[in-house]
């Protein structure tokens, strides 16, 4: 599945998984996901 996504989609998905794992469903915020996605570097 990841091979079919572009870099931006991969960064957002990776950030979302991390935020949801750390903060849970109720605590996850799109702003935090977006901020983290900007900092993620895909190698």
Query: Per-domain residue ranges for the chain?
Result: 2-39
pLDDT at 41: 76
Among 6, 3, 4, 14, smallest CA distance to 37 is for 14
Among 3, 10, 1, 5, smallest CA distance to 37 is for 10
pLDDT at 2: 53
Model pTM? 0.81
Q: Is 13 exposed, middle or buried (0-12, 13-18, 19+ CB in 10 A)?
A: middle
pLDDT at 12: 95
Residues of the chain with pLDDT under 70: 1-3, 42-43
pLDDT at 18: 97
Q: Which two tokens stand for residue 41?
A: 């570097």
């Amino acid at each position: 599945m990841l091979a079919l996504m572009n870099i931006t989609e991969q960064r957002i998905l990776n950030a979302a998984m991390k935020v949801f794992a750390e903060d849970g469903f109720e605590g996850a915020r799109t702003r935090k996901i977006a901020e983290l996605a900007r900092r993620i570097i895909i190698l």
